[in-house]
Structure 1
Amino acid sequence: MKRSFEGKSVIVIGASGGLGSSFAKAFADKGARLLLVGRNEEKVKKTAEQITGDITTAVFDITDLQSIKELKNIVKRWSAHIDIVVNASGYDVRKSLAEHSYEEAKNTLDINLLGAILITKAFLPHMREQKGSTIVHIGGFADGRLAFPYYSVDAASRAGLFTFIEAVNRELELEGSQARVAFFSPSPADTEAERPFHPLWRKMGVSIMPVEKVAEDLLKTIEKKKTVRIMGGMSTILFAKLNSISPKLADAIMMKKYGKMLQQFFYRTEDGGQQKPNRHKRGYLLKIAVILIIASFILYGLAAVVPLLPLTLSQKAAAVPALIAIGEIVWWAGLAIAGREVDAKYKKYLNPCTWFSCKRKTI
């Protein structure tokens, strides 16, 4: 086995959780020295006992400033330098905003956002001049800015973290620093905390990842020096991009379908039944589909015209592929919406059993 992190000093915060413990094991297998940190001393030590290598443990509360100061002192005694810090701590409440308590909202922001800021502020000064040093924060689904209903406060904390990381990296670049901060978005994983939501993810067509696969992806992200990594495949990445550019279009394409699933999963009426989702008119979506398809032809036409324009050869070489690529995305998006709406509207007539008698087995 290639030990690509041999001798590296790695701090894993939130090491007692399902993902945190898998990250710790993956780093240890690659030869790293580990400082495992968490709020629950017993769980952190249990994680350490399951790993072979140079392992040190510490108790730490991400929301407590004094605890952060104490951790900094522990780190100074533990290692002369820090190569990698992985912040795998997180607080996740998924329900309607009306059902959030003050404590839940505060804990979400304190742990997911303020805690990440304080960790970065505490360790980044000691890592600035060290080539390849990285602080990685584990974010939410997609790029953190994908605001699913019933994830309101959690989405706010993850989106804040994403933009915080963007801003810090720009500061580091301007200052000529060798360090970087990364946002790592894992796929829904097979952890104890995530298992209650597995049925929902599967219904949405999202695969559940083994924690070992998530850990492997994290290490590759660090090795490749990426500052943003979104697991979940190209469809998740494209939808995250689309959502950041045009939330209304994202609503039209995906959130109508997923919104209903989320509503049915999370929302219960007072008598314990599920609230029926509202029905929307399909004409609006069909119009969007037609507009997108027309727009794709316009983009293709522009690509054909570009060679005739008074532009430099390099500008033409860049513009033509870009217009074709955008045209393809817009074409397939329009086609997907149109196909779904036609299927929903004419499902009865598209079913062969409508035209031919289908015999059903009785038990």
Structure 2
Amino acid sequence: MRIKSRGLLVEPSRATVLKGRRIAVFGATGGLGAALVAELIRRGAAVVAVTRRPGGTLLDGPLAGKVAIDLESPESIEEGVAALSDLDAAVFVTGIDVRKPLTDHSEDEISRLLRINLEGPILATRRLIDRVRDGGVIAHVGGFADGRLALPYYTVDVASRAGLAAFSEAITRELRLEGRDIVVSYLCPEPAETDAERPYLDLWRSMGTSVAAPSMVARFIADSLETRPGLRMMGGASRLIAWINALSPGVADMVALNRMGRQLRGAFGRPAGRSSAGD
């Protein structure tokens, strides 16, 4: 969006582009979610906070509403999304990680991860399509690099996030064919200094990955709501690794992923001599 002033095209203030836009933030009380709510309110958006449970943690700033939706429950999704209306955007700052050998995952862990990271967001997106105005965006905040980078010890997590990335691409094309001007974006920030991620920040840094403050990630997401990209990644090194991996996984292994894999094994791999769960 540009504004004409005295014959010149000038970029509008970041604080005005989203002014008055009605935006639902799923996962609003998490570390990144709360930072995003604050950033959107600063830019003048009308924010509806979507939390897992009624009540939830108090958020700074005036809210346009609060809705409880549990992404593990199809019934909660149906009921909660029905309470949302006239949205210009919806953002999912949700998801869980399980970082360990696949053979150490329990069946319950796998099922829960897939429900929260993949099935729940898909079911909610299906209903949100009729709640978001044309010209709007539904954004899923996903994993490292392009969400499809197959890091070891993140096996089920990668499967769920890669599935969501492909889903976002496919439904955007479907909506375009149906004559709807709604983009379903997949956004990939750098690891953030949240309570959940803090134990792993030194590991990310050792692998050459930048670590961002939650406020920086919030600005990245808010900027993306303005431009409505299909896919957007934060961080030059992450984009480069994702690009190389898309062209040739073998080259990506030689350039970076073999080294990163060894570091991940040191952090999450099974100690020598210990067999897998159930053996």
TM-score by length of 2: 0.89
Is 1:83 the counterpart of 2:88 in the alignment? yes
Q: Specify the SS of the correspondent of 2:96.
A: coil
Cα distance in structure 1, aligned partners of 2:162 and 2:63: 35
Q: Find 2:106's aligned residue among 101, 106, 117.
A: 101
Q: Specify the SS of the correspondent of 1:83.
A: strand
C-alpha displacement of 1:136: 0.3
For 1:302, the equivalent position in structure 2 comes to none
Is 1:119 the counterpart of 2:87 in the alignment? no
Cα distance in structure 2, aligned partners of 1:74 and 1:122: 11
Per-residue deviation, residues 224-275 of structure 1 (Å, max 9, x unmatched): 2211111121x31121122122212211221221111111111242689xxx
Is 1:218 the counterpart of 2:231 in the alignment? no
Q: Specify the SS of the correspondent of 1:85.
A: strand
Cα distance in structure 2, aligned partners of 1:58 and 1:125: 17
Q: Which has the higher contact order (CA 8 A, sep 6+)?
A: 2
Q: Find 1:70's aligned residue among 52, 62, 79.
A: 79
C-alpha displacement of 1:7: 1.3
Q: How many residues align?
A: 261
2:25/2:48 contact within 8 Å kept: yes
| Structure 1 moving runs of 4+ over 6 Å | none
Cα distance in structure 1, aligned partners of 2:233 and 2:82: 33
Q: Specify the SS of the correspondent of 1:110.
A: helix
Per-residue deviation, residues 315-353 of structure 1 (Å, max 9, x unmatched): xxxxxxxxxxxxxxxxxxxxxxxxxxxxxxxxxxxxxxx
C-alpha displacement of 1:3: 2.8
Percent identity over the alignment is 38
Cα distance in structure 1, aligned partners of 2:222 and 2:83: 25
C-alpha displacement of 1:103: 1.2
C-alpha displacement of 1:43: 3.2
Is 1:265 the counterpart of 2:258 in the alignment? no
In 2 relative to 1, CA 271–16 (structure 1 residues): closer, same or farther, beyond 3 Å?
A: farther
Question: 1:153 corresponds to which letter in structure 2?
Answer: V
Q: Find 1:245's aligned residue among 234, 244, 247.
A: 247
Mark the runs of 5 or more structure 1 residues left unpaired by the alignment: 273-363
Identify which range, 97-106 or 243-252, moves more after superposition.
243-252
Question: 1:8 corresponds to which letter in structure 2?
Answer: R
1:181/1:227 contact within 8 Å kept: yes
TM-score by length of 1: 0.69
Cα distance in structure 1, aligned partners of 2:94 and 2:182: 21
C-alpha displacement of 1:197: 0.5
For 1:360, the equivalent position in structure 2 comes to none
Per-residue deviation, residues 159-189 of structure 1 (Å, max 9, x unmatched): 1011111111111222221111000101000
Per-residue deviation, residues 185-207 of structure 1 (Å, max 9, x unmatched): 01000100000111100111112
Per-residue deviation, residues 53-73 of structure 1 (Å, max 9, x unmatched): 243222210121111121133
Q: Find 1:193's aligned residue among 185, 190, 196.
A: 196
In 2 relative to 1, CA 131–205 (structure 1 residues): closer, same or farther, beyond 3 Å?
A: same
For 1:59, the equivalent position in structure 2 comes to 68
Cα distance in structure 2, aligned partners of 1:186 and 1:246: 23
1:145/1:244 contact within 8 Å kept: no
For 1:25, the equivalent position in structure 2 comes to 38
Cα distance in structure 2, aligned partners of 1:58 and 1:176: 29
For 1:290, the equivalent position in structure 2 comes to none
Cα distance in structure 2, aligned partners of 1:172 and 1:238: 30
1:16/1:40 contact within 8 Å kept: no
Higher helix share: 1
RMSD (Å) for aligned C-alpha atoms: 1.6
1:10/1:82 contact within 8 Å kept: yes
Question: 1:192 corresponds to which letter in structure 2?
Answer: D
C-alpha displacement of 1:133: 0.6
Mark the runs of 5 or more structure 2 residues left unpaired by the alignment: 1-12, 275-279
For 1:176, the equivalent position in structure 2 comes to 179
C-alpha displacement of 1:42: 4.4
